[in-house]
Amino acid sequence: METQDKATVRIVASPKTWIEGEAVQQLERTATLPGMIAAVGMPDLHPGKGSPIGAAFVSEGRIYPHLVGNDIGCGMALWSTDLPQRKLKLERWADRLGDLDGRWDGDVEAFLAERTVAPTDHDASLGTIGGGNHFAELQQVDAIEDAEAWATLGIAADSLVLLVHSGSRGLGEAILRAHVDRFAAAGLGSAGEDAREYLRAHDGAVAWAQANRALIARRFADALGVELAPVLDVCHNAVVPCPDGAPQRWLHRKGAAPSTAGIVVIPGSRGTLSYVVKPDPSRAEAGWSLAHGAGRKWRRSDVKERLQGRYRPDDLVRTALGGRVICEDRELLYEEAPEAYKKIDAVVGDLVAAGLCTVVATLRPVLTYKTRSRR
């Protein structure tokens, strides 16, 4: 990418892919920020609080914390398990999972120290999933499209895998709030001490979020009595030096998976497939990024009104694919219904058609944990 007077705005999506007008407007407004070089929307683009989700932004000389958002380090992590697909025991497993929302009773300080992660004031939340679209989900292999790429992951085709989506919980919120209290939505000169201070806190939150996903997986596995092996962990909310190596250029991702970190998982909803994809890491015009999920189609505030006449809560704890859902928060159960999301097949299809990735495999949700907290 070359420096230019006006930022490039691009949306990676086919004409058939519906993207809300407000999300496009947010993308275009963000492109006008000082120092912005490019604003790239993915096919899962949807409106956020001031700036869109499902986008990558390249800037020069300035860092914009609000473009990372309050869940710094949020991402997807995948583990293989020793559970065979042929022995599904959904109700028994659901009962054994119990409550993963409460504070972990282990030694948090030691757990973080093992990963060289500094302790924080938010460590009581370590190992908890959080709300919104976060989850821990057992999945089974649905189909393998690229056997050679799949083999590099070391996952047996007949075993279940665990996918965890979570972030830095209240830690990222505190870091963003500290910035907003001083600078509002203004960016920071990337060569200054304020930017360096933010980046130190940011990098700590990214590491904390990764540790959080690892502890969620451990709690999940311990409850079921299974063994785990890590496969990948990919962050989709972060700011990093631009992959082109240009000095003082920064790549912000807000709900955008990196194409520069190897194979990634792009989940659908709890009622659709997830895709394991192999990115092309060279695609600068796409902000070196991919979609991070299906992307919301309906606003959270609208979902229950749309669906409560069609579904009772009991209907929503089973999916069309035969999966079991643990979500005792009635509002969240509706908000996260599969119908509230875009079609993941179309989202990934747009990425493939644009040459940004190829499909390695698809995964089918089996048991999705959201929350035991009642509301």
Residue type at 323 in one-letter notation: G
**Residue the block writes with tokens 């009104």:** 305
Tell me which residue of 237, 232, 228, 211 sits closest to 125, measured CA to CA: 211
Cα atoms in the Cβ-side hemisphere of radius 13 Å centred on 309: 3
Dihedral class, residue 295 (left if φ above 0, else alpha if ψ from -120 to 50, else beta): left
d(CA 9, CA 29): 10
- Among 66, 165, 236, 292, the active-site one is 292
Q: How many residues does the chain have?
A: 375
Residue 66 annotated in active site: no
Q: What is the DSSP code string of 333-353? A: HHHT-GGGB--HHHHHHHHHH
Q: C-alpha distances in angstroms, 220 versus 144, 337, 369?
A: 26, 22, 9
User: Which residues form the catalytic set?
Assistant: 292
